[in-house]
Structure 1
């Protein structure tokens, strides 16, 4: 389910991108509304990064795309005043001191608040005079996030932001992102193939496969429309009004995913659970 287009910060309709004869994006329709945390989830090569490049005004495309009412290719400088983009939270200039890095960001982004950055920095072990290359990967991530949080933008776009970081650093990044950046006036669009890790922070999920959107749904709606049945014995679903959209036979149990099914009827066949995003992604893309 997409946001009301009148409330959308990003509006995309019929967006396609070809590299020669190969379609990277196929007539994509998507909106990102104010106050949403949208997860764009798909395997490598699904079109996630291509879509973000189009949103950032880095590639040409066919179809309609506006960000804050601006066409990215024509008004990129104006558009970037209201959004931040991060591809890798660990990529910072190691030769710089922390204070120099923050000064550089202050000089290059009109909405960066140095006082806000200094305030956030005081809650960490990081010192202004530390060289970035002496910081641990976790502290580099914290520093990068501080730089993000100190920019007063309405939209934050993250492309596989925690790829290669350990689980504790990834969890800390996600927690601070929600606590210190997100509110009902700001929005986040994040791409990942690490489905299970961002599930708890999303308000909406979009699945993409081979350049096409395969599912676009609010997280609350997902929990009511889909269910997972787990049984220790083979299941016979004959006679049920809704058949499983996916079934997985394991050595010790059987799992099945249903959409818009009667949970009470299904409870006679096994334990009825809410599927994880990983379960649902496999079920809708198999």
Structure 2
């Protein structure tokens, strides 16, 4: 089965800065993949490479096409909302539907109207009269009305309140994900998307720190919740991370901890946030510019 995204050993540099460093990622069909990383980790650079906006070294195919060479053909088969996505403030929603019908051969105006009926956005509304959450829902309705195999979203809910973010992701999962299409979502809101994801890719300073399905996270990583008396033994076993949870300390291990340590704690499920903290470095904490 062909992967919708096949990236091998991708490297991208801006002068002396390396944005992507030997990045390899594969996305099969029917997956919802979270792309996680701190500011400057390379998320946006990777997404721009996937849609042909940035040339990269290495091997890259998206939907069986080479993004920079076959960009026009590629954009007919995927949907993309960049991190700086805007809709023209002067336009009415029905005008945007008409514009999309003329620009994108696989766009369905009927489908867009059906998706908008899930929201409080009216076709006669002007974009400038809509809240940020309503603009995001309108944008998603327009993009999701394209008969595409792959959707790429770069921080799609940035700046939205929690209710608007929830509505956005509910529409995405309910109306677009069908087991055949795949979505790649870049976000900082790890806790909110964890329940939606089938896979996660974590970038750390341009490198892949982790690429794994959520099912395999439970098999590979072990988190032990333990009493203070076991703290020294846990620390001596060199866990990836130790953190406080529900008044007790939890130690996170990559793989099975030593048997004598495993018996000192209660196994709990590690969250994506825990893994993210353990496997990536926050540039802001290291005195670097984000």
Taking structure 2 as the reference length, what is the TM-score of the superposition? 0.89
Corresponding residue to 1:155 among 146, 150, 156 = 150
| CA distance in structure 1 between the aligned counterparts of 2:234 and 2:249, rounded to whole angstroms | 18
Of 219, 234, 237 in structure 1, the residue corresponding to residue 214 of structure 2 is 219
Indicate the residue corresponding to 1:3 in structure 2: none
Equivalent pair of 1:263/1:272 in contact (CA under 8 Å)? no
Gaps spanning 5+ residues in structure 2: where? 282-290
Taking a change above 3 Å as real, the CA distance of residues 73 and 251 of structure 1, as seen in their structure-2 partners, is closer
Q: Matched residues in 2 for 1:265 and 1:199: separation?
A: 32
Are residues 260 and 94 of structure 1, via their aligned partners in 2, closer, same or farther at CA, if it must alter by over 3 Å?
Answer: same
90, 96, 102: which one pairs with 1:101?
Answer: 96
Any residues of structure 2 matched to 1:124-163 within 5 Å, and which? 124-163=119-158
1:122 to partner: Cα distance: 3.0
Q: 1:91 aligns with which of 83, 86, 94?
A: 86
* Conserved 8 A contact 1:90-1:137: no
Preserved CA contact (<8 Å) 1:111 1:152: yes
Tell me the CA shift for residue 243 of structure 1.
4.8
Tell me how many residue pairs correspond in the alignment. 281
Shift of 1:64: 0.8
Q: TM-score, normalised by structure 1?
A: 0.90
CA distance in 1, matches of 2:247, 2:53: 49
Q: In the alignment, which of 224, 228, 249 is matched to residue 229 of structure 1? A: 224
Deviation at residue 267 of structure 1 after TM alignment = 6.3
RMSD over aligned Cα, in angstroms?
2.5
Change in 2 beyond 3 A, CA 1:45/1:270:
same
* Residues 247-269 of structure 1: per-residue CA shift (max 9 Å, x gap): 23799532210233269976643
Give the Cα separation in 1 of the matches to 2:113 and 2:245: 53
Uncovered stretches (5+) of structure 1, i.e. residues with no partner: 1-5
Residues 79 and 144 of structure 2 are in contact (CA less than 8 Å); yes or no, is this contact kept in structure 1? no
Q: CA deviation at 1:66?
A: 0.9
- Cα distance in 2 for partners of 1:66, 1:57 equals 10
Q: What SS class does the counterpart of residue 117 from structure 1 fall into?
A: helix
Q: Classify the secondary structure of the residue corresponding to 1:99.
A: helix
Runs of 4 or more consecutive aligned structure 1 residues displaced over 3 Å after TM superposition:
236-243, 248-253, 262-268
1:7 aligns with 2:5: no
